[in-house]
Structure 1
Amino acid sequence: MTLPAIAKPLLDEIARRADSGKPLRLWLRDDDAIEPTAPLDRLLTLTAAHDVPVLLATIPAFTGQALADRLAGESRVSVAVHGWAHKSYAGAHEKNQELGDHRPAQEVLRELGEGFGKLSALHAGRFAPMLVPPWNRIAPSVVAGLPGIGFRALSVFGPEKPAPLQMLNTHVDIIDWRGTRGGREVEAVIADLVRVSQAQEGPIGLLTHHLVHDQAAWDVMALVFEATAGTADCGWFGVDDLLTEI
């Protein structure tokens, strides 16, 4: 298969990493899963076609058996806790935040513990003990309490920072949230992947949101997968594989 010239910077970066003996490692997190939908089917079909594992950050308050039934037999799909209800408690002039310091940490942790229990029961065998905060924001007081309710990992957006549990962040978002709210330009996504790869040696997380994808977003995913999946010098990893590194 011949890739378009637009993919060359990423292919060159993969080759550079291979020459240095540090192959590029990627992982995929998709946010806001609740129930079976046509976009979810499209996501699972696309990732399966390229053998790319995907972590579904799932909203506990609004999900149930229907999603568990849909995922049965999907061997490359994991499920993590995406807050509780994806509800913002921030003030009118603040950025959206469900897991901030607007409520007592004990109350927030109680909800998260309920979400942990619900999803681990619904998705036994594919549940990852990871918290994905809605809007990628969480108060330090809440982070401190996560190990005590069973969480082993935390995933937000941006460079990893020290925390009392493993950080496995996403670093490149394919959605243009401040503009079209659809897929970003392919050039921009590839440039971000190259930039992050040159700045760190750890796994790079790609962030998607299947429920809001337009054709541009699906096209970006397909091109990135075609350039990276199934190659000797670059690999896509499941959360279970990456969490066993600690």
Structure 2
Amino acid sequence: MIDRLLILAMLGPELALWRRAGRRPVVWWRDDDARRTGPALTLLLGMSARYSVPLTVAAIPDGDLAALAGACGVTPGVELAIHGFRHENRAAPGRPSGEVVDGDSLAEVLASLDTALAAFAKAGVRPSLFVPPWNNVHRTLETALAVRGLGLSGYDGMLAPEALPPRVDAHLDIMRWKPTARFRGARRFLDRARRLLAERRRKRAWNEPIGLLTHHLDHDEAAWRFLALILPVLQPQARPLLSAEVASQAA
């Protein structure tokens, strides 16, 4: 009850300004780190179905993609994206975590990407979006994605549908990660959400997406409880199509 009232108090006035302008925020939902099916994924997909909210599930290629594809395929509006190659941190000590590092050649990254694409294809999935682990976007990875015609999703960037690769990011992480994974807290989450909404309204950037980010395997009870409250309020839509996808559909 407290979180529900807090949501109304912190987001209600801003959302009212959007309605007064005849606009609705463009929110989309991305969940990371899927490797296999299980109770947490079932709960996640259940929320997507219950609230009729589309969802992009970023799956690691070395997981059970066939089972993931089967589970996601029966829930309307759920798509799979590629989440790295093996989700292994190859960064040097003291550097931000990442899977593609300086010294990796384009040929090496393309080979890893092709292996990932083949794994998804074997499961009957043709993903159009790549989500790098830890949202670490390396220049060589960007080039490889552009070569293969894939979109990119990192964190906290603006929509770039005409870029190569085209990009749509997440912005609202429901979790905190240090010192351990836990729910971010309603006030922290809602304060950031309100700022993002207000920025877009003031700039009249009505169609600039806001990405909700979750990690179903790491959610505590508080995170699940809050997610069930915020989804009907934010009303996420299907992931915005990027220019490469629009072109491929028109071909």
TM over 0.5: yes
Q: What's the CA shift for 1:171?
A: 0.4
Identity of aligned residues (%): 30
Distance 2:232 2:158 in 1: 27
Q: Which residue of 2 aligns with 1:157?
A: 155
Q: What's the CA shift for 1:245?
A: 6.7
Q: Which residue of 2 aligns with 1:78?
A: 79
Matches within 5 A, 1:74-223: 74-124=75-125, 127-151=126-150, 153-160=151-158, 163-200=163-200, 201=205, 202-223=208-229
Q: 1:119 to 1:219 in 2, by over 3 A?
A: same
Q: Which residue of 2 aligns with 1:20?
A: 21
Q: What's the CA shift for 1:121?
A: 4.2
Distance 2:195 2:51 in 1: 24
Q: Which residue type is aligned with residue 185 of structure 1? A: G
Give the alignment's TM-score, normalised by structure 1: 0.87
Matches within 5 A, 1:30-49: 30-49=31-50
Structure 1 counterpart SS, 2:175: coil
Structure 2 counterpart SS, 1:144: helix
Determine if contact 1:83/1:99 at 8 Å carries over to the other structure. Answer: no
The farther-off stretch of 184-193 and 14-23 is: 14-23
Q: Which residue of 2 aligns with 1:233?
A: none
What is the total number of aligned residue pairs between the two structures?
236
Q: 1:72 to 1:142 in 2, by over 3 A?
A: closer
Q: What's the CA shift for 1:221?
A: 0.8
Determine if contact 1:79/1:123 at 8 Å carries over to the other structure. Answer: no
Write the deviation string for residues 91-131 of structure 1: whole angstroms up to 9, x where unpaired. Answer: 1221210023242232122111221232144243xx44111
Determine if contact 1:100/1:138 at 8 Å carries over to the other structure. Answer: no
Q: What's the CA shift for 1:179?
A: 4.2
Q: Which residue type is aligned with residue 242 of structure 1? A: L
Q: Structure 1: which 4+ aligned runs deviate by more than 6 Å?
A: none
Give ranges in structure 1 of 5+ residues lacking alignment: 230-235
Q: What's the CA shift for 1:147?
A: 2.1
Determine if contact 2:54/2:78 at 8 Å carries over to the other structure. Answer: yes
Distance 1:245 1:190 in 2: 33
Write the deviation string for residues 137-181 of structure 1: whole angstroms up to 9, x where unpaired. Answer: 021122022121231x11000122764122110001010112441
Give the alignment's TM-score, normalised by structure 2: 0.86
Q: 1:37 to 1:188 in 2, by over 3 A?
A: same
Structure 1 counterpart SS, 2:62: helix
